[in-house]
Chains A and B, each alone.
Chain A
Amino acid sequence: MSTAADPASSPEASAERTASIAPTVTAAAQQPYDDSAVALSAVDLTLSFGQHTILSNITADIRRGAVTALIGPTGSGKTTLLRTFNRMNDKVSGYRHDGDVLIDGRSIWHPGLELTSLRRRVGMLFQRPNPFPMSILDNVVAGVRAHKMAGKPAMKSIAEQHLTEVGLWAAVKDRLKDSPFRLSGGQQQLLCLARALAIQPDVLLLDEPTSSLDPNATESIEALVRTLVPDITVVIVTHNLAQAVRIADRTIFLNKGRLVEHGPTKQLFENPAEEETANYVGGRFG
C-alpha cells in the first residue's frame, strides 16, 4: 500500500478512522461493519484491464449521507473507480480485481447479493444524458417497473413525485407522453436524475454529470445534489474543482490509479497534506 494513500496522515481523518472503522483491513473485510457512518468502502482495491493496472491499492471509506467528490487528472481512474461501485466494469474484457468493495459492510461481489439489487441500491448518472426511447413518464418509472417496486396505478404519481423533486414537473407535466429527446440537454439530465431517484437508491454515483451542460443547468443539478444528502450518499466525479468545493463535503484525490489524499473538501483544497495534491489543486485553485 502506498504511503501517500494513507488518509490517516491528516489529523481529522485520523480521528475519524479510529472512531469509525475496524482496526485492520483484513478484519474489515471479514466482519460486517457495525459502523453506520460508512456507506461504501474500497478495501485495498486493485483493478486491472488486461495488462494495465488502472487502480492500485485503493482504500477509502465513503461517508454515508455526504457528498464525496472524486478528483484527479484525466486517466487517473476516477470513472473506473466509480463504475466499480456498481460493478459496471465487470464485463469489460480483461477485467480483474483484488481487494474488495463493501456496501454496508458486505462485499458487492458476495454471491448472495444479486447484481440487479446492488444496482437498485447504487444508482448512477452519466456524463451525458441518456434517456430511454420511451415517453417521459415511462422514462421516470422505467426502473420502478423493472424492479416491480409499485403497481400500475401508482406510476403516474411516482413520476410526478420525482419529476417535482428534480424541478422538472412544471416543464413536462403537459407532455408526459412525449419523447424525452425533444427536451433540452439539461432537462434530459434532470430526467435521468429523476429516473435514478425513482428507485430510491442508497448511493448515487455521478460521473461528471454537468460536463455537457450550460451554467444554468449545472447550477440546478448542483443545488439538487445538495438536497439529496443526507438521505442519499453521493459520489461525484468532477474535473471542475470549483464544483467540488461548492458541493462536496469530502474529496478524494486520485492520481495515476492511486488514492493520494482523502479528507474534508475544505482541508484538501486549502491545506493539503500531500505535495501531489497541492500541485494539482494549487495550480488551478487559490
Chain B
Amino acid sequence: MTASTPVAEPTGGAGSVPSPRAGGSLRAFVKGGGLVRWTGRTGALIPVLALGFILAVLVVEAIPAIRYNGLHFFTKSIWDEGTGYNSRIVTTNGVKHLTGADYGALPEIAGTLITSAIALIVGVPISIGAALFIVERLPRRLANGVGIFLELLAGIPSVIIGLWGALTFGPFIAHHITPVIARNMPDVPVLDFFRGSTGNGEGELTSGLILAIMIIPIVAATSRDLIRQVPILPREGAVALGMSDAQTARKVTLPWVGAGIVGAVVLGLARALGETMAVAMTCGVALGAVSSNIYGTMTTIAATIVTYLDTAFLDGSGFAVRTIAELALILMVITLAVNVAARLMTRRVSGTPLPIGAGF
C-alpha cells in the first residue's frame, strides 16, 4: 500500500555501493585490509588483461589476412581458399597463401547482423512484456514458478535447442507460417525481403527466431529483477494520475531502471551475436552467398568459424586459418562496439534528466 523502499530514486540498475565499514581497531585489520585490497585490484585487472591478450592474439593472427583480403573482405561474397589441382603456395606482399585464394565475408557479417536483429526485434518486446507481467500481474508464488522455468530455459544447451530448431521448429514454420507471410507480403522495397521461396525451414528467419528464444530467458529474467526494484511510490503516482498500465510501464517503471534494461538487452545481443551451435544447425549451407530473402539459407560469423575450421586447417599455406582469425576479430569488434554504444546510449538517455549510476 505505501512504499517500503527507503530511497525513492532510480538507480538505473547500477549495483549499489556498499557502505564503507565502520572504523574500529584499525591496526588489527591493516594487514587483512591491505590483502583484500590487493587481491581486489588484481582481480579487477584480470578481465582487462584477458581482453587485451585475446585481442592481441587475434590481431597478430589476422594481420596477414587483413593485408591480403583488404577492404573487399567486407563487400564481397565469396569463399574460395584456392585449393585445386594446380594450387601452389605463393607469397603476395609477404603473405603466404594458395593461388587463387579469394575471400569476402559479406554473407557472414550480414547474416550475423540480420539474425541478431531478428532476435532482438522479436525477443526484447516479449522479454520485457513478460517481465512486466510477472512482476505486476502474477501472484508471488506463480511468479517464482515462472522464474524457475525461465532459468531452466536459459540453461538448455544450445545444441539441443539447435536440434529442436532443425528437426521441429524450422520445418513447422516453413510449412505452416512462412508461406502465408510470403504470399501476402506486398511487393515493395524492404517488405519484398519477406517474399519469395520459403525453403525447407533452414535459414535466416529460423535462426533468428531460435536466437530470440535463446535470449528471452536472459533478457526477461534480468528485466524482471530490475523491475522488482522499482519502488511502489512513483508507480502509484502514475496510477493516481490516471495513467494506464501501459503508460505507467513506459513512462515510469521502465525508465526508472532504463540503464539496466539496456544492459539486459546488450547481454541478450551479445549472446545472439556470438551464439554458434544453434545457428550452425539451423542456418542451412550457404558459404559465400547472401540470402535473397529472409527465409533463405545463410551463415553467420560464429557458425562459419565452427563449421569451416577443420577444412581451414587443411590449407597448407595457413592462410585460411588467418582468414578465420580475421572473421573472429570482426565478431569481437562488433561485440565490443555494441557494448560501448550501449554505454554511450545510457549516458545520453539518462545523463541530464536522471541520476543514474555509472553503468550496469
Contacts and interface: CB of A to CB of B under 8 A. Distances in A.
B241 A126 contact: no
Given A92-B1, A134-B255, A178 B239 contact: no
Contacts of B241: 119-120, 123-124, 142-143, 146, 195-196, 199
B237 A146 contact: no
A192 B234 CA distance: 10
A130 B239 contact: no
A128 B233 contact: yes
Interface in A112-137: 115-120, 123-124, 126-135
Contacts of A115: 242
Given A128-B3, A142-B251, A146-B243, A133 B10 contact: yes
Contact of A134 (B9, B243, B247, B251): B251
B238 A120 contact: no
A192 B2 CA distance: 17
A182 interface: yes
A201 B110 CA distance: 54
A28 B239 CA distance: 29
B237 A177 contact: no
Contact of B247 (A118, A129, A146): A146
Contacts of A118: 242
A40 B247 CA distance: 27
Interface residues of B, number: 27
A96 B241 CA distance: 23
A142 B235 CA distance: 13
A131 B234 contact: yes
B240 A123 contact: yes
B185 interface: no
A86 interface: yes
B354 interface: yes
B252 A132 contact: yes
Interface string A126-164: 111111111100100011001100000000000000000
A148 to B, nearest CB: 11
Contacts of B251: 132, 134, 142, 146
B186 interface: no
A68 interface: no
A143 B244 CA distance: 11
A179 interface: yes
Contact of B352 (A129, A178, A192, A199): A178
Given A130-B234, A132-B251, A133-B252, A182 B355 contact: yes
A88 interface: yes
Given A127-B2, A134-B251, A134-B255, A88 B8 contact: no
10 contacts: A120-B241, A130-B237, A131-B237, A132-B238, A133-B10, A133-B256, A133-B353, A133-B354, A146-B243, A195-B241
Interface of B: 1-3, 8-10, 233-234, 236-244, 247, 251-252, 255-256, 258, 352-355
Given A133-B10, A134-B255, 19 more contacts: A86-B240, A88-B236, A88-B239, A116-B244, A120-B242, A126-B240, A127-B2, A132-B237, A132-B251, A133-B252, A133-B256, A142-B243, A143-B243, A177-B352, A177-B353, A178-B353, A179-B355, A181-B10, A196-B241
